[in-house]
Structure 1
Amino acid sequence: MHARALAATTTALLAGAVLTLAAPGAHADDGGAPPVVIAHRGASAYAPENTLPAIDKAAALGFRWVENDVQRTKDGRLVVIHDDSLKRTTNVEDVFPDRAPWKVKDFTYAEIARLDAGSWFGPEYVGTRVPTLAEYMRRVEHNHQNLLLELKNPEFYPGIEQQTLKVLANAGWLDAPHVAGRLVVQSFNADSVRTVHQLKPAVKTGFLGTPNLTDLPGYAGFVDQINPTYGSISASYVNAVHALAGAHGAPLEVSTWTVDDAASAKKVVGYGVDGIISNKPDVVRAALQE
């Protein structure tokens, strides 16, 4: 069964509106279900991105889907952080001033655990840490949330696909209910996405980007979603994606990013997208409810 139908079993009642993945062929522009709203790096406009407070904030706002980024430390631990450098979102320059350019892959987890990943955002988040993927998964499960997981810079981390799947398995996230409607693994790296599909065919996968229309059939063999930036798409592009069957035999889906204002949200709804990834998911939700 297509995940857009399966997701109907895991909807959230949000201010009187149910936000789910649309059923196959049913899009917002033709009277179908509205697109699912996905909190980008958690509710990252309101809490430090890719931290436990960010996904807690998304949960408090009523959002079931969150997105994150996964990388690997020097000693092989998977951590949730977006940039390949620790500089922007931690106090690494203060703690380790002589180790520029402060790449994630050059620090052990024990070193990263010493860093403050919240004070850059606001004083109320002082002491927030970079979570491990295992810690993050426990909190997502505790919050009854669903996850769009991005393998970030997999070319830096050989074998990260198998390692990520192992962490997900240990967390109980590769059983039938989770893979049916609660998990998508995506990346900008097509080879990485293909590897995930080969290692665990049951898992839904997505490619981040806007492939040429002529290239879409090649992606359809190993992905279920094409997830482009919202400025790169049109209604005709979304229709072309939907016309192809993905890796699990259902129409390819489109989740677009990063939409943070009402006008853009309404525009992509008109295109018929299946998901909207946003730093301000409450703004997008309000636009969809108008």
Structure 2
Amino acid sequence: MHARVVAAMTTAVLGTVSFLLPVHDARAGISHQPSVIAHRGASAYAPENTLKAVDEAAALGTLWVENDVQRTKDGELVVIHDDSLRRTTDAEEVFPGRAPWKVRDFTAAEIARLDAGSWFGPAYAGARVPTLKQYVARVEHHRQKLLLEIKNPELYPGIEQQTLKLLGNEGWLDRRHLANRLIVQSFDADSLRTVHELKPAVRTGLLGMPAVADLARFAVFADLINPSYASLSPAYVSAVHALTGPHGKPVKVFVWTVDDAATARAVAGYDVDGVITDKPDVVWRALSGH
């Protein structure tokens, strides 16, 4: 058996066990374990935002996966990070005369033709850009949880309502999913507010790091504040936790993107509630010894 596969299987077993080990929660006098969220799937080990990356995250025992949703020219919701197809597909070769290869300028059928895996490595040649419907089906297949980012909402008027409709059609807006398996996030506060107004039961996360003085107004519609780890401090995490979110619980913090053990241990020490990472196995091992 390939050495990396053996290592991944071992890590999945040890990681799952290690997640039972608590981290002290100074706020409530209890112990809790920060969630580990696979960024765009396990994107250090498979091409980002593909079904292969979801599968890799599942193989590593990761319960949470994060992804990005955008919209095609003909109105299909697809899972891709950049607003251009150029970096993570062969669109430049397949459609050489259509620069700058914006997602919104291509139909779903055209995007389905693209190779979204070869750029990462030959083993992933032929991987496709999944539709959001395909993506949530794969997450459901693995019984995982979904952190869904609405990407560039200013480019796609009405994408919030369309995304919620699809999630509802696919069974992701029932009580079980809403309780602990779905969070919708965005850098765009107005988009997030729209999600909350359309479906108040959905938990939401505001990406970025608003000033402490502004946090209270975001807590009206955001259950989480999700900043980069680079400028995070224990005081900021405490300020977020002091607020009550739209569902009557303390606002949480998911921090991104942490790929090394030292940083993972540091942010866990800040009492964050989740760690978003390209390398969930690395973060698991780090937190299990914290």
TM-score (norm 1): 0.92
Partner of 1:267: 266
Letter in 2 for 1:233: L
Partner of 1:144: 143
Partner of 2:71: 72
Aligned-pair CA distance for 1:31: 6.2
Partner of 1:196: 195
The structure-2 alpha-carbon separation of the partners of 1:206 and 1:142, relative to structure 1 and needing over 3 Å to count, comes to same
Residues 96-124 of structure 1 deviation map (CA, whole Å, 9 limit, x = unaligned): 01111000000000110010000000111
Q: How does 1:251-290 map to 2 (within 5 A)?
A: 251-290=250-289
The structure-2 alpha-carbon separation of the partners of 1:237 and 1:186, relative to structure 1 and needing over 3 Å to count, comes to same
Partner of 1:178: 177
Partner of 2:126: 127
Partner of 1:89: 88
Q: How does 1:34-53 map to 2 (within 5 A)?
A: 34-53=33-52
Partner of 2:160: 161
Q: Is the 8 A contact 1:185 1:203 kept in 2?
A: yes
The structure-2 alpha-carbon separation of the partners of 1:137 and 1:43, relative to structure 1 and needing over 3 Å to count, comes to same
SS in 1 for 2:69: strand
Letter in 2 for 1:16: V
Letter in 1 for 2:210: P
Aligned-pair CA distance for 1:16: 1.8
d(CA) in 1 for partners of 2:249, 2:106? 42
Q: Is the 8 A contact 2:19 2:288 kept in 1?
A: no
Partner of 2:240: 241
Q: Is the 8 A contact 1:210 1:228 kept in 2?
A: yes
The structure-2 alpha-carbon separation of the partners of 1:27 and 1:95, relative to structure 1 and needing over 3 Å to count, comes to farther
d(CA) in 2 for partners of 1:21, 1:165? 34
Partner of 1:104: 103
d(CA) in 1 for partners of 2:276, 2:21? 13
Aligned-pair CA distance for 1:15: 4.2
TM-score (norm 2): 0.92
Partner of 2:32: 33
Q: Is the 8 A contact 1:27 1:274 kept in 2?
A: no
Partner of 2:112: 113
Q: Is the 8 A contact 1:27 1:33 kept in 2?
A: no
SS in 2 for 1:166: helix
Q: Is the 8 A contact 1:19 1:35 kept in 2?
A: no
Q: Is the 8 A contact 2:209 2:227 kept in 1?
A: yes
Q: Is the 8 A contact 2:50 2:129 kept in 1?
A: yes
Letter in 2 for 1:241: V
SS in 2 for 1:158: coil
**Dislocated runs of 4+, deviation >4 Å:** 19-22, 27-31
Q: Structure 1, unaligned stretches of length 5 or more?
A: 1-11
Letter in 1 for 2:51: L
Partner of 1:14: 15
The structure-2 alpha-carbon separation of the partners of 1:186 and 1:46, relative to structure 1 and needing over 3 Å to count, comes to same
Residues 252-288 of structure 1 deviation map (CA, whole Å, 9 limit, x = unaligned): 0000000000111011011100000000010000001
The number of equivalent residue pairs is 277
Residues 214-273 of structure 1 deviation map (CA, whole Å, 9 limit, x = unaligned): 000000000100000001210000000000001111000000000000111011011100
The structure-2 alpha-carbon separation of the partners of 1:52 and 1:27, relative to structure 1 and needing over 3 Å to count, comes to farther
d(CA) in 2 for partners of 1:52, 1:192? 26
Aligned-pair CA distance for 1:26: 3.2
Residues 143-186 of structure 1 deviation map (CA, whole Å, 9 limit, x = unaligned): 10000000000000000000000110011000000000000000
